[in-house]
Chains A and B, each alone.
Chain A
Amino acid sequence: MVSTTNTIPAAAAPAVAAPPERDIGAMLSSLFMAALPPLMGIGLLVGIWALVSLGTKDSIPSPLETWRQAVEIFSDPFYRKGPNDLGVGWNVLMSLQRVALGFGLAAVVGIPAGFLIGRFNFLSRMLNPLISLLRPVSPLAWLPIGLLVFKGANPAAIWTIFICSIWPMIINTAVGVQRVPQDYMNVARVLNLSEWKIITRILFPSVLPYMLTGVRLAVGTAWLVIVAAEMLTGGVGIGFWVWDEWNNLNVKNIIIAIFVIGIVGLVLEYMLIKVATAFTFEEVKS
């Protein structure tokens, strides 16, 4: 090795230099492929939006106007001017808080319920008809019941979130438990593991990816539902904010709210996907 590098350093140098050049070319083209299509997609959206704005003679505000308004709003998102006039930041945080509460309660109930339904056939037969019946119901249909029982807008909204996020968690957890590979259970039987070890070392880790899928679906639905629920209940929250701006005929703020809702949903989804990949152990086939 040493002798070859000593004798032909001149010949070695260009041979080494050539591949990086190609690498830079490949990198540029892959960068183009990564950046260009999404940018064009956004461009398409803004273009259509501008056309619609022109066609409706500015009753739908133009992208540029909306952008200016957005800059103004986000220069001070956390202002407080009385109980009904809070910055957009407060509204988003309030909505997220409701989602977190409703979703958290649903996780506390739904995940253990999913484990039980997956583990015991009797419970599964007992509860599956109920789940099938209640799952297709729009969560907003539960809002009046919530208002009636909890006698307040805020707990009623949380209740709605609870209802809509519990189904995906129950169902996915139960499916995960039912799909624990028989081989792993055979290992547990041969080693005569205790029920606690079976749960912590075999059931829980193999159910976790399914459970996290349920969590992701639940958070996604919850974020969809909270906007609608807050429109109905009022108070402080991004959904209420949209409705309030509609009553003020401030369309620019509605469009900004749509983007805010989309971006927050995107961030939630991305975070949960990251969590899910960290806990998924895909077996490499030998």
Chain B
Amino acid sequence: MSETSNEKINAKFIEINGVAQTFKTRKGVFPALRDINLNVAQGEFVALIGHSGCGKSTLLNLIAGLTLPTQGTLLCANREIAGPGPERAVVFQNHSLLPWLTCFENIYLGVERVFGAGGRSTGAASESKVQLRERTNAALELVGLSAAAHKRPGEISGGMKQRVGIARALAIEPKVLLMDEPFGALDALTRAKLQDELLEIVARTHSTVVMVTHDVDEAVLLSDKIVMMTNGPAATIGEILAVDLARPRSRVALADDAQYQSYRKAVIDFLYTRQGHVEKAA
């Protein structure tokens, strides 16, 4: 592959062109998204923010391939997204761990599929069970949960479950990590801790991340780019804000940072002044 086409992939790792999504409901056709155009570069951290019902999760599901668009195209690494797959791992809002499997087994399930016998479509050799276990343990260690490896999800806290969810997604070495309000159900302190951990993990793994959130601080702290969505129905991208803060970022240092505050202000201004409240717009 030539230098230029490589660069093209890097800048437009995820490419969304003219995507619209409508749902058929009992009351008729509901337009959820329209005219979505968005590029995500490799290694970029993008946050999707907006009021509830603005279709940010719908957009994430489209990138995941869990739903297909009514109009337009989505590309990932120059290939059309035709369905879900392990190269676009999803961290679900409610963690979605299988309650009858231990944390280890939950992660191993994906690892076995991607790296085990018959899993690799690229022709790479499948790995032995020892290697698969090593990968699983490494993922658990990455989120600091080696001690809870053989506990079931019912036996650990909400924050730990969400960390297992992140480990499960990261263990399969996805090209893109998709996160749907991953910390939404957690208390503020646990959320902050996990955000810090995520910052570290992303710095280490150079992951490409698309994250849905409704938390302004979370968006500014974590992302390189904040995609602000207008209110639904027929929501679209209202504005894209590039967050140009140096990494590694520290929440304590940034609290007094003027630039951080101005980004924060810009997002709040968009959400509350220009987009107002959902009821008013509808």
Residues of A within 8 A of B (CB): 181, 183-184, 186-187, 189-194, 197, 201-202, 205-206, 281-284, 286
Contact = CB atoms under 8 A, between A and B. Distances in A.
Contacts, number: 64
B105 to A, nearest CB: 9
Given A201-B101, A286-B157, A286-B158, A189 B94 contact: no
Nearest to A201: B109
Given A187-B98, A190-B66, A191-B172, A283 B154 contact: yes
Contacts of B153: 283-284
B84 interface: yes
A186 B154 contact: no
Given A281-B100, A283-B99, A192 B154 contact: no
A36 B266 CA distance: 69
A202 B66 CA distance: 18
Please classify the interface of chain B as helix (H, G, I), strand (E, B), loop, or mixed, using the class held by over half of its residues. loop
A189 to B, nearest CB: 4
B233 interface: no
A201 B98 contact: yes
Contact of A191 (B83, B86, B154): B86
Interface centre among B89, B92, B185 (most CB of A within 10 A): B92
A189 B66 contact: yes
A190 B86 contact: yes
A190 B109 contact: no
Given A190-B84, A197-B113, 13 more contacts: A181-B96, A184-B98, A186-B66, A186-B92, A186-B96, A189-B83, A189-B84, A190-B89, A190-B90, A193-B109, A202-B98, A282-B99, A286-B161
Contacts of B152: 281
11 contacts: A184-B96, A189-B66, A189-B83, A191-B172, A192-B84, A192-B113, A197-B109, A281-B100, A282-B99, A284-B154, A286-B185
Contacts of B172: 191
A183 B85 contact: no
